[in-house]
Structure 1
Amino acid sequence: MRVRSALMDWIVQRRAERRWTRAARQAPDMTVSDLRRERFKARKLLHSLNELVAVADNRLALPMIGSNAFSKPHGTDWAWRPALWCLPLPSPGMSSAQSKSKLGDELVLFHDCERSELTLRQVRNTREADLAPYGLRMDVFSFDGSFLSVVLDLPEGAVDGLKKKHLIRLNTIVEMEKPLEIFARLNIKHGPNTEQIVRELPLHEDDIVVEFDLAYSNLNEKRIERAWLDLIFENPEMSQVTLRDVTLSRRQRAEF
């Protein structure tokens, strides 16, 4: 039955192709009324075809939607790519974004601009080198504030069993229209205190890696509650920044 159905589909498709090829050849000699009727039919068909092609291009583009594949250091006991870089958001962006605006469930924007001229939006990654299905693009026009950051709340797995002997690694891929500085600040709340470790991203590299070594912190392992990551942008006025990927992983430092 499947063979017969496939054969019938092929026959119908071939007939449709011949019918529209013939109509295209005859178009210059058609009467106005016939041409108007054929144009109406063609437009209806073209609308459906364009919808199919758009969905297929999105789903078949590399990397595949939902992919969580990325390189992890040996000994990794926790790894995470935020959902914004994995799955399509119901609302993919915002303009004139206000401070404390959320994009998805995990990312929050912070700034102190009186008048926001910032846009945030999720973009589809299609480059062969990309492992993350989506990226985050931020456009900044006029900027009258003193700080700009996006904050990612880390899931419970990031702090479950977290010790001072752990290294937390951030990998990201950044595209910029103009040079600027970006800092990553890891925040870990333990009891009434919050431990903060800041690293500047080495933006001259294609695959940007920084590590937060908890051995040099004052972390109280018994009172760890939650963790979050700030990405802080210095002098962002008139710039476009695209974070093609953001991943975090955790491993224990080597014992000597």
Structure 2
Amino acid sequence: MTKQQGWIDRAVFATGLRRWTRAAREARETDLPVLRRQRARARRLRSQLDALIHVAEERLALPLIGNQAFPSPPDSDWAWRPELWCGPLPVGGISSVPSNSALGREATLFHDCQHSEMTLRQIRNRREADLAAYGLRLDVFRFDGSYLSLAVDLPEHVGHGLKRDHLIRVRTIVEMEKPLEIFARLNIKHGPNTEQIVRELPLGAETVEVEFDLAYTRLNEKRVERLWLDLIFEGPEMNQVILRDLTFSRRKRAAL
């Protein structure tokens, strides 16, 4: 909209508002035929205004699409939320999910079931407390496999300058129908080797976080190629798990 169009739009709105304000003020003395026409017009206008207000209040109350804001340590040198939790994906869900099925560019589900009875779907977050615009819902029915994991690829640049004195923090919001164990495994490929650090998510609270201390690895800092996180679900049969958010941050550990 140009500056002139914006001025015209404001002028038209102000003129209409004055007209309806005057009509409302004079309604008790207005001739009945005129008042009947005004009522019909006001009802038509009110129905459109109510529809606009309803949609606007719903959309404006939802977390902002593309939002990358979330709590992270003040000394972090990198913080990131994957695309699945930021904005709508071209394909929003998968049914009877085969192993090695990707939802978006960064998240992939792995399992060894003979017959997949699970669905993976991106959902819109609608709670006032949510910062992420979208969440991920995993529904598992009959499960005849021995493992189920969700792999999330981290961006390539997080490996730039990665040192053994770094801490990588993972923060997530988890909902589930019934309790189950979830493990987070950070994988760092450096040359022909891959370092793996495993942490169990402390699921006593809805929002949980774990830190991976690279000081306890044999990381070759000069050969870091890629990083990814595996979320491993133990005993997932007949359960629904919703990851309302998933975020990462990186910071230097305090000197010993």
1:144 counterpart residue number: 144
2:95–2:119 CA contact under 8 A, matched in 1: yes
Structure 1 residues 16 and 248: CA distance shift in structure 2, 3 A: farther
Structure 1 residues 16 and 64: CA distance shift in structure 2, 3 A: farther
Structure 1 residues 233 and 2: CA distance shift in structure 2, 3 A: same
Task: Confirm whether residue 18 of structure 1 aligns to residue 39 of structure 2.
Answer: yes
What is the distance in 2 between the residues matched to 1:223 and 1:55? Answer: 51
Structure 1 residues 9 and 71: CA distance shift in structure 2, 3 A: same
What is the distance in 2 between the residues matched to 1:235 and 1:216? Answer: 29
2:182 counterpart residue number: 182
What is the distance in 1 between the residues matched to 2:216 and 2:37? Answer: 71
1:78–1:157 CA contact under 8 A, matched in 2: no
2:213 maps to a residue whose letter is D
Aligned ranges 1:92-107 → 2 under 5 Å = 92-107=92-107
1:176–1:242 CA contact under 8 A, matched in 2: yes
SS in 2 for 1:94: strand
SS in 2 for 1:170: strand
Aligned ranges 1:1-256 → 2 under 5 Å = 1-7=8-14, 18-19=39-40, 56=56, 59-256=59-256
Structure 1 residues 96 and 253: CA distance shift in structure 2, 3 A: same
Shift of 1:21: 7.9
Q: Which runs of 4+ in 1 moved over 3 A?
A: 1-4, 7-12, 14-18, 20-23, 52-59
Shift of 1:133: 1.0
Structure 1 residues 136 and 9: CA distance shift in structure 2, 3 A: farther
2:154 maps to a residue whose letter is L
Mean CA deviation greater in 87-96 or 191-200: 87-96
Shift of 1:55: 5.9
Report the count of equivalent residues: 232
Q: Deviations over 1:140-179 (max 9, x none)?
A: 0011111001100100122110000000000001001000
Shift of 1:130: 1.1
Q: Which runs of 5+ in 1 are unaligned?
A: 24-44
Q: Deviations over 1:183-203 (max 9, x none)?
A: 000000011000000000000
Shift of 1:206: 2.7
TM-score by length of 1: 0.82
2:248 maps to a residue whose letter is L
Shift of 1:56: 3.8
Q: Deviations over 1:197-252 (max 9, x none)?
A: 00000000232010000001011111111110000000000000000110000000
Q: Deviations over 1:104-125 (max 9, x none)?
A: 1110010111111111111111
Mean CA deviation greater in 91-100 or 186-195: 91-100
2:33 counterpart residue number: none
1:137 maps to a residue whose letter is R
Q: Which runs of 5+ in 2 are unaligned?
A: 1-7, 24-35
What is the distance in 2 between the residues matched to 1:210 and 1:136? Answer: 19
